[in-house]
Amino acid sequence: MSAAPRITGFDTYDIRFPTSGELDGSDAMNPDPDYSAAYVVLGTDAGDGAEGHGFAFTIGRGNDVQVAAIEALRHHVLGLRVDEVCADPGLVSRSLTGDSQLRWLGPEKGVTHMAVGAVVNAVWDLAARRAGKPLWKLLADADPEWLVSQVDFRYITDALTPDEALALLRAGREGRREREAVLLEHGYPAYTTSPGWLGYSDEKLARLAGEAVADGFTQIKLKVGADLADDIRRCRTARAAIGDGVRMAVDANQRWDVGEAIAWTRALAEFDPYWVEEPTSPDDVLGHAAVRAAVAPVKVATGEHVQNRIVFKQLLQAGAVDILQIDAARVGGVNENLAILLLAARFGVPVCPHAGGVGLCELVQHLSMFDYVALSGTTRDRVIEYVGHLHEHFLDPVVIRRGRYAAPAAPGFSAAMAPESIARYTFPHGEYWAARAAAAEEAPA
Ligand SMILES: [Mg+2]
């Protein structure tokens, strides 16, 4: 009898795409991002070829630091039994989060926590592939007791106990077969940020906003926060292009102090923004509560930079947000996002995930689809962000039809990037970056 298969590979890659050249992704705080992934592949000796892919998203410089943080977790994972890991990803999640030395660099925040998220998500990708299911379905089919066992309740039991989580998940199962059929037929609602990058001209904004509505989107989003006169003009342009029946959100990417956030949002209110996103620091729970109280009926949304379940808990406890924006690659992976989805369900706050970047749409769709089928049971006032960039580098890219995400069918977490893309865009020695460095050397000073 052969030995039980183990995790035998832990390969990391610093992958960077030159998006700053087109101002795709430009906003008030991040004018020239090069969308990047600190990427990890878990290999096994199982002989079935199944791998686990995961990554943290960054926007360029520092992606090497993120890769180094992932590398620092290698010893926790290499040699683990594949069957044990796939049966209980929470075991890996707890051992990574609890690393007694790395913990000092957090705890549970920043580069080290994002590294945990990358590895934990790779484990879930492996588990879903071996189960032969897309991740959303693996989660939706799972026993509520097992899902509860995957959540670390430390620091959140004052808002959500394991028994309360179990009750939510049991109630969420009622009618799940019908909802799964609806999901497979109609997909999950999306909104698009593609028209609204700050670096785009008014003409490009109007054209892309009109195209978004023609494509079936019922919500778009504009970046704001650099210059008020510009924002008023751009909001007017976008509102004229989409008409009154389409929702328009605005996103300040943390640009403002609390008072400024209130004044600026009020100044844009005549264009009927549906939500104002990241009005101020993602750490400022009470600041968000103050903004929310002052700008209603404009809703307040945040989450893409919220570092862990504890801050999400406080945002909910303080009544600081109307919309909660999970990110698949910011916190400690699927296990912590289960905790956050459960907290949102407990407080009755809609989750509208952050996506875009590199592969964030591919990942986070699975979490929302699970939530619809087997937890909150609704897509009302829920939309997943969609940005039309870089999907061509993924082996199982998202599919958008009439403004909705089609449910992925392939086993796994849709996380795997094409080997050619990894090779070409690895920094600094991949073909693309090497050619660019050579060209810069040849150019006259
Ligand atoms: Mg945002």
Distance in angstroms (rounded) separating the CA atoms of residues 145 and 148: 5
- Quote the CA–CA distance of 236 and 388 in Å, as a whole number: 23
Instruction: Show contacts of 154-162: CB within 8 Å, 24+ apart.
Output: 155/309, 155/310, 155/313, 156/309, 156/310, 156/313, 156/339, 156/343, 158/313, 159/313, 159/316, 159/317, 159/343, 159/346, 159/347, 160/313, 160/339, 160/342, 160/343, 160/346
**Per-residue pLDDT at 204:** 95
251 pairs with which residues across the strands? 223, 277
Catalytic machinery residues: 223, 354
CB 242 within 8 A of CB 248: yes
Tell me the CA–centroid distance for residue 284 and ligand 1, in Å: 16
Amino acid at 168: L
Task: Give the pair of three-digit tokens for residue 316.
Answer: 């909910």
At 142 the pLDDT is 98
Residue 173 in contact with residue 374, Cβ under 8 Å? yes
Q: How confident is the model at residue 198 (pLDDT cuts 50, 70, 90)?
A: confident
- Interval between CA 323 and ligand 1 midpoint (Å): 12
3-state secondary structure 392-444: HHECCCCCEECCEECCCCCCECCCCECHHHHHHHECCCCHHHHHHHHHHHHCC
Q: If you measure from the C-alpha of residue 91 to the centroid of ligand 1, how many angstroms do you get, rounded to a whole number?
A: 32
| Distance between CA atoms of residues 12 and 41, nearest Å | 6
Ligand 1 centroid–CA 253 distance in Å is 6
Give domain limits for the chain: 176-414
pLDDT of residue 27: 80
Cα dist. 57→238, 374, 395, 401 in Å?
A: 29, 27, 17, 25
Residue whose tokens read 């920094």: 427
Element (H, E) at 93: helix 89-97
Report the separation in Å between the CA atom of 251 and the middle of ligand 1, taken as the mean of its atom positions: 6
| Residue 1, pLDDT score | 46
* Assigned token pair, 215: 């494509």
Give residue 434 CA to ligand 1 midpoint distance, Å: 32
Query: Averaged over 215-222, what is the pLDDT?
Result: 97
Identify the CA nearest to 57 among candidates 76, 30, 39, 31.
Answer: 39
pLDDT of residue 445: 58
Residue 162 Cα to ligand 1 midpoint, Å, equals 31
Residue 403 dihedral angles phi and psi, to the nearest 5° = 70, 20
Is 190 a residue whose pLDDT tops 90? yes
- Residue 3: the pLDDT is 87
CATH for the stretch 176-414: 3.20.20.120
In the prediction, which pLDDT does 346 show? 98
Distance 221 CA to ligand 1 centre (A): 9
**Each residue's pLDDT tens digit, 302-321:** 999 999 999 999 999 999 99
Residue 354 Cα to ligand 1 midpoint, Å, equals 7
* DSSP structure string for 348-363: TPPB-----TTTHHHH
- 412: nearest Cα among 429, 428, 430, 394: 394
Across all residues in the chain, what is the average pLDDT? Answer: 96
| Residue 100 Cα to ligand 1 middle (Å) | 33
Tell me the pLDDT tens digit for each residue of 317-356.
999 999 999 999 999 999 999 999 999 999 999 999 999 9
CA of 140 to the centre of ligand 1 (A): 27
The tokens describing 145, both together, are: 């007791």
**Confidence grade of residue 2 (pLDDT, cut at 50, 70, 90):** low
Q: Starting from the edge strand earliest in sequence, which strands make up the sheet with 36-44, in order?
A: 7-16, 36-44, 52-58
81 Cβ contact partners less than 8 Å away, ≥ 6 residues apart: 4, 5, 6
* Contact criterion met (CB below 8 Å) for 370 and 408: no
